[in-house]
Structure 1
Amino acid sequence: MRGLGKTRRTRRTSRTVTVGLCATAVAAVLTAAPAQAQTVAEAVARMPHWELKDSGTDVRFRGLSAVSRNTAWVAGSDGTVLRTVDGGANWRNVSPPGAQDLQFRDIEAFDVRRAVVLAIGEGEASRVFRTEDGGTTWTESFRNTDARAFYDCVTFFDSRHGLAMSDPVDGKFRILSTSDGGRSWKVLPDDGMPAAQAGEAGFAAGGQCLVSSGSRDVWLATGGGARARVLHSADRGLTWTAADTTIPAGDPARGVFALAFRDRTHGLAVGGDYRADQASPQAAALTPDGGRTWTPAAQPPPAYRSGVTWLPHSRTSALAVGPTGTDLTTDGGRTWRTLDTGSYDTVDCAPDLGCWASGEQGRVARLER
């Protein structure tokens, strides 16, 4: 979207217990009575918290990909891409040469060496770059030549198959597809895409307006129209169905900004109104059926949120982030409690429990326990 837009399969390990205990401890801290002050103080010292890492820059990082606790990639304004391989102690500037005028809003990293980054904007400002050597060299693999298109987000099902999405062209969202890891791309036919609403688009706010889970399922988040919707495809983007969500829309600044699915049925949606002077009631929703129906959170985040991710190996715990803070759910998205008031635009977790967040003024942080 002109104004502003990953879900990764994880394997179960013995660390499932660790995550469950952390989530339980956080919930206990948030609901403790004053008489338990000493116990609470001890628990607070052990509860998960963001630890800021010095990125060495002040650009805004709306693109983030967590590979592990040690390795993460961030992408942002002024064509900037950074990578760390030592848990954020040091960051290497691996920006594509000559990209200073581009706005990177999404990045998908497969490992420490391979990544795909998306630049957003009208016409030729929307581009895709790929690296196979940790950012030492980049190849531009796609440049949009249609002035009507504006690409917002990218996602991958595996290391070869992926999709990118554009705001509607000729009344329908446009989908770009790759089957070779982002080396080449093609526009998919739009026969199976429902018509867009008037003013409907995606939000290039944190790289999570297009997310996938498993080998074929993908979801697309929208806003700006009369209703905030989530579109779902079970065949890698060839055919889609649309469902209304409970997140308010009806304005170019409102809608669903980010999605997260822990499997092909259980998903979370967050958003609201990104304007700082506007309230964002009902800023979160959940689905138990792959996005066919959405239920509002009984206790949503207190303000607009632009990023969301499930905690690895957990069936009930997730994090949501936005300019005014970070919220945690331990009941699958029904209720949210604020953990931190720092500003972040996006959040992502790796299978080894490495969770990262990034945002304005070069802010990058790792979740510590």
Structure 2
Amino acid sequence: MTSKGKTRRAVSVGLCAAAVAAVLAAPAQAAQAGHPMTGQDTALAWSLKDTGTDARFRGLAPVSRKVAWVAGSKGTVLRTADGGRTWLDVSPPGAAELEFRDIEAFDSRRAVVLAIGEGEASRVLRTDDGGATWTESFRNADPRAFYDCITFFDSRHGLAMSDPVDGKYRILSTGDGGRSWKVLADDGMPAALPGEAGFAASGQCLVASGPKDVWLATGGGSTARVLHSADRGLHWTVAESSIPAGDPARGVFALAFRDRTHGIAVGGDYRPDQASPQAAAVSGDGGRSWRQSKTPPPAYRSGVAWLPHSRSVALAVGPTGTDVTVDGGRTWRTVDTGSFDTVDCTADFGCWASGEKGRVARLEF
């Protein structure tokens, strides 16, 4: 990297730190009153982008501040290359009956999208030309399987997960960027709890960090758990979280790890008439143990992401708002009341969120 490039990066990191400091110092009463996050109140603001559709986008794959992909209901996939000013409809032909819940993009041309559902409704498609054409690389033939999330370690190696089949979560693996998939042996997978499953709510029930570490979030059983693999899904360990479960609507909905050690879990009860008093937890040992957040978000949250180049700042989103933490997930503060399902950030501070009624936004500093 040139000295000029290093200087630009240092300046951008400094600006991010200044923005976060302003968030911390902003008047707390603004958030308590349910005031939207705006430039007048804090240094962070969601800038809504007109997508021209009413699809619900639970799948989100930002590449940079300029390039992002979203995937959602009615088989809809959109791509922007100008920071959200314009969106190109790159939906796969004949996919209107599919429900896309997760998408992973490597750049402006290469992406892999996951459709969810029982049996053949669960599929994986890949594009290498910006969505001009798509190739179906996997179609689930087992009526007992229901795929929820997909993640990649790099541009070649990735995994997808299904709800338990024969009492264990099923894991798909690819080593060629999603062009082909194989079901991994389940010898190293712990048994699932009765009623336990993953939540296809934000594309964050299966997340990777680094070349081999991956975590899987669960709910619906007697305990909300987080499973961890350090060898790309061959062997797993399991830990209980502090997020309440015991009901099909409760559990861990999303995970984010800024490295192989520090993680955040969010969730709760997705039913709008039910409280979620313990909707977040943190881990400092790679997911082996979880501690309840001292001041969690006030309601169910389905998506979470670390701000880039930060060891302590993260965002959580859900149908009732956006929360920010500046202490690694121990305490959260609501800074916006708009509805989003998922959130993700890129190294150049391209933080994006998406959700119902075609809502997509980019974070502005």
Q: TM bucket by the smaller chain?
A: over 0.9
Aligned to 1:6: none
The answer to whether the Cα contact below 8 Å between 2:26 and 2:41 also exists between their aligned partners in 1 is: no
- Specify the SS of the correspondent of 1:239: coil
Give, as a single letter, the amino acid of the residue that structure 2 aligns with 1:27: L
Which deviations, in whole Å up to 9, do the C-alpha atoms of 1:104-143 show, x marking residues without a partner? 0000000000000000000000000000000000000000
1:63 and 2:59 aligned: yes
1:329 equivalenced with 2:330 (yes/no): no
Structure 1: runs of 5+ lacking an equivalent: 1-10, 34-40
SS, match of residue 18 in structure 1? helix
Match of 1:320 in 2: 316
Residue 302 of structure 1: which of 294, 298, 303 is its match? Answer: 298
Conserved? CA contact 2:26–2:42, under 8 Å = no
Q: 2:314, 2:324 within 8 Å by CA — same for their partners in 1?
A: yes
* Residue 253 (structure 1) aligned with residue 258 (structure 2): no
Percentage of matched positions with identical amino acids: 75
Deviation at 1:16, TM superposition (A): 2.5
Q: Which amino acid aligns with 1:277?
A: D
Instruction: Identify the structure with bigger relative contact order (alpha carbons < 8 Å, sequence gap 6+).
Output: 1
TM-score (norm: length of structure 1):
0.93
Name the aligned partner's letter for residue 148 of structure 1. Answer: R
Structure 1 partner of 2:148: 152
Structure 1 contact 102–120 (Cα < 8 Å) conserved: yes
Q: List gaps (5 residues or longer) in structure 2.
A: 1-5, 31-36
| Alignment-derived partner of residue 208 in structure 1 | 204
1:44 counterpart SS class: coil
Letter in 2 for 1:269: A
Instruction: Report how far residue 31 of structure 1 moved.
Output: 4.5
Cα offset, 1:42, TM superposition: 11
Alignment of 1:21 with 2:13, yes or no, is no
Query: How far did 1:280 drift?
Result: 0.3
Q: Tell me the amino acid that sits aligned with residue 25 of structure 2.
A: A
Structure 2 vs 1, CA of residues 17 and 56 (structure 1 numbering), >3 Å: closer, same or farther?
same
For 2:321 and 2:150, the matched residues in 1 are separated by 25
Residues 26-41 of structure 1 correspond to what in structure 2 (within 5 A)? 26-31=23-28
User: Alpha carbon RMSD of aligned pairs, Å?
Assistant: 1.6
The TM-score with structure 2 as length reference comes to: 0.94
Look up the SS of the partner of 1:303 in the other structure. Answer: coil
Letter in 2 for 1:336: W
Would you say the 8 A contact 1:25–1:43 is kept in 2?
Answer: no
CA contact (8 A) 1:178 1:185 kept: yes
In the alignment, residue 20 of structure 1 is paired with which amino acid?
A: A
| Residue 228 (str. 1) matches residue 224 (str. 2) | yes
Q: CA deviation at 1:285?
A: 0.2
On the 8 A contact 1:270/1:320 being kept in 2, the answer is yes
Alignment of 1:1-369 (within 5 A): 13-14=9-10, 15-31=12-28, 44=40, 47-369=43-365
Deviations 1:228-250 (A, max 9, x none): 00000000000000000000000
SS of structure 1 residue aligned to 2:358: coil
Q: Secondary structure at the match of 2:242?
A: coil
Structure 1 position 95, deviation (Å):
0.4
Q: Which amino acid aligns with 2:318?
A: G
Check whether the contact 2:254–2:303 (CA below 8 A) recurs between aligned residues.
yes
Q: Specify the code of the residue in structure 1 equivalent to 2:342.
A: T
Q: Secondary structure at the match of 2:24?
A: helix
Q: Distance in 1 between matches of 2:164 and 2:187?
A: 13
CA distance in 1, matches of 2:18, 2:242: 31
One-letter code aligned to 2:44:
P
